[in-house]
Structures are given as C-alpha cells and as structure tokens.
Amino acid sequence: MSQQALSLTRPQKAAAILVAMGKPSASKLLKFFKQEELKALIEGARLLRTIPQADLERIVAEFEAEFTEGAGLLDSSDQMDTILNESLSPEEVSAIMNGRQQEAEPEGPPPIWPQLEKLDPARLGAFLQGEHAQTAAMVLSKLSPQATANVLLTLDKAMRADVVKRMMSLSKVPEAAEKIVEDQLRSRVLTETSSRDTSVGQARVASVLNEMEKSQLDEVMQDLEAAGTPDLDGVRARIFSFDDVPALSQKARVAVFDGLSTEVVTLALRGAQPDMAEAVLSAIGARSRRMIEAELSQDANVAAADIAQARRTIAATVVRLAREGLFDLPSAQNAEAA
C-alpha cells in the first residue's frame, strides 16, 4: 500500500468511498450523516488527492471488514429502516428480514404446458393413448379448454370417456408426481417433436403449392419426388386444388360453398367440365344454383386470370375449413389409407 493510503484519516477514507460510489448513490447516503460528520467529510475530501485503484480497493476491503465486525455506523434501528425502505423494494426488504439471499435463484426448465398446447393434437393424443387414463386426465387438466378438446377428439372413444370421467373427479396432484409426468412429456414428446416434427415446414410448402395451377403443382411434386425429398407425404396430405372438389364428400362441399358468394362460384365454373359443375352446383341451394346456371348460359368475356383466382379462392377455403377440423382433405385420407 502506498504511503498516502496509509496516512489517510477515517473521514478521508469515507470520502474516497463516497466519491468512488458516484453521485447518485453517494447523495442517497449523505442525508444520513450528522452535521459534524458531513463537515469532517468535506474537509477530508478537500485534502484528498488521486488514489491509485489498488489503494482504493484496500480501503473498500477495510470498510467491508469493519462493517462486518460492527463498527457502529448508525445510531438507531429507525435510521436503518429508513435506508432500507428508501433504497430497496418491499420484496427485497422482506427477503433481507427473512434471512434469504438476494442472489437470483437458478431457473428451472421452461413451463411445459404452453409448449404442449402448440403441438399437433394428434401427436399428443397418440402419446396419451398409450398412457394410463389417470395420467392423461392430469395432463389434459393442465391445458386450455380448446387444446384439451382437440386432443380428446383424437383418443379412442373408450379412452376418451375414461379420461373425461377421471378429469371430473381429479383432485390436486402431488408435486412429485406432477414433476415425473412433466419430465416424461419433456423427454418423450417435446424432444422428439423438436427433432422430428416437420409439420410446420410441410404446411408452408403446401400453402405455396396450393397457389399453383394443377399442372404446375403436379410438375413440382414430381420433381420433389424424383429428388428424394423426405416427408413428401406430409406435404401431399395438405395439398388441394379446385380440380379436387369432386373428391370431397357432399357434406364437405356444402360446408365450403355455403360461405362463398355466387360471383366467385360462377367465375370458378367458367369453362369447367360438366362433372365438375355438377359437383359444385349440387352442394348449393336451388335458388343460387338457378342464378349461377343462368349466368353460365350467357357468353361473357372473362379473363382467364380472374377464373384462376376464383378457383384458388375456393381451394383456399377448402384448406382452411379442413385445417379447422370440419373435414379431411382427400389427399390426407389417401395418405392415411396408404
């Protein structure tokens, strides 16, 4: 230690520490000093010169040692309460008074339930199908009502009834048991999903392909198949074009065309084959059908681009309703059968 540091008085050391703390922190502390103490600090600061970093660190260490031993820095507990209440949050004060460390507790794994709700319901349902019904009931009780309903619909009827019955009588699950289930879900469902689930990419590719004409779509699919593209069945199961309308069930076609305007349907049927026209018109009410047939019987100068756009609108509607669970796409049914 330098000669200067050795010869510093206690007020000078206190002034050095306050200067090192900076104005915001030091100003908070100065109001707790008595008038004579402030005078001593000011006089000490006037005589203070630049202190090397090493000496300053030794002064701080000396202060820490005296503070730990109890050097009598404050006169009363009232002043300590004032410092605590003005400097710390209520939570921090409570933590200090209860003897807890203020160090941040190590974070555990992220919550698993929001991640499960983002999964494909069929994937989670397939996992729960092989588990005990009580385990499935506990898992589903942690999910949102919509997510729970979607997963329940993927279970076998017998399993579904048993799970619902157990959910109705489910009491608080012991924390240890809940942690075991969470660990299993994290390792057997989420880990596998993150490494193998390509459904998002498949849906993205399918949405692009669904914007193409039938001939273009078929050509791209052939190229992908020739290139050995993996998981192509998942893409194929999400593809739908206007030409696939006759493959939809009557119920599905009614659901699709019930929400479409007659203008869109009329445009889409311009130049369509008779079997296609019948597949569409048979799913429409009698009054709307007569209006559309009357329009189609008249010659009209309609741009091919407008017809193509109307057909893409219908195809997009089919894909959206299938995604909402109203029915399955023909391509998905074929993939499942295969």
What pLDDT digit, counting tens, does each position of 283-330 carry? 999 999 999 999 999 888 889 999 999 999 999 899 889 888 888 888
How far are the Cα atoms of 47, 59, 203, 239 from residue 2, in angstroms, in the given order?
A: 16, 12, 72, 81
pLDDT of residue 228: 80
pLDDT of residue 303: 92
pLDDT of residue 286: 92
Proportion of the chain above pLDDT 70, given as a percent: 70
Proportion of the chain above pLDDT 90, given as a percent: 20
Mean pLDDT along residues 204-214: 77
pLDDT of residue 256: 94
pLDDT of residue 140: 92
311 within 8 A of 268, measured Cβ to Cβ: yes
pLDDT of residue 257: 94
pLDDT of residue 92: 53
How far are the Cα atoms of 41, 67, 135, 169 from residue 101, in angstroms, in the given order?
A: 33, 18, 37, 41
pLDDT of residue 57: 74
pLDDT of residue 41: 65
Mean pLDDT along residues 201-221: 78
pLDDT of residue 75: 42
CA–CA distance, 50 with 259 (Å, rounded to integer)? 82
- Residue 112 corresponds to which tokens in the numbers above? 């698993």
Q: Other C-beta atoms within 10 Å of 177: how many? A: 12
pLDDT of residue 100: 45
Band (97; pLDDT cuts 50, 70, 90): low
Position 6 pLDDT exceeds 60: no
Band (71; pLDDT cuts 50, 70, 90): very low
pLDDT tens digit sequence for 102-160 = 444 445 566 788 888 888 888 888 889 988 999 999 899 889 988 899 999 999 888 99
pLDDT of residue 293: 93
- Residue 14 corresponds to which tokens in the numbers above? 């206190």
pLDDT of residue 5: 46
pLDDT tens digit sequence for 232-282 = 777 777 888 899 999 999 999 999 999 899 999 999 999 999 999 999 999
Among 152, 202, 221, 197, smallest CA distance to 319 is for 202
Q: Which of 33-42, 71-80, 99-108, 326-335 has the highest mean pLDDT?
A: 326-335
CA–CA distance, 295 with 300 (Å, rounded to integer)? 9
CA–CA distance, 168 with 153 (Å, rounded to integer)? 17
pLDDT of residue 105: 45
pLDDT of residue 282: 95
Position 80 pLDDT exceeds 60: no
Q: What is the pTM of this model?
A: 0.42
Task: Sketch out the chain's domains with CATH numbers.
Answer: 3-97 (no CATH), 113-197 (1.10.220.30), 240-337 (1.10.220.30)
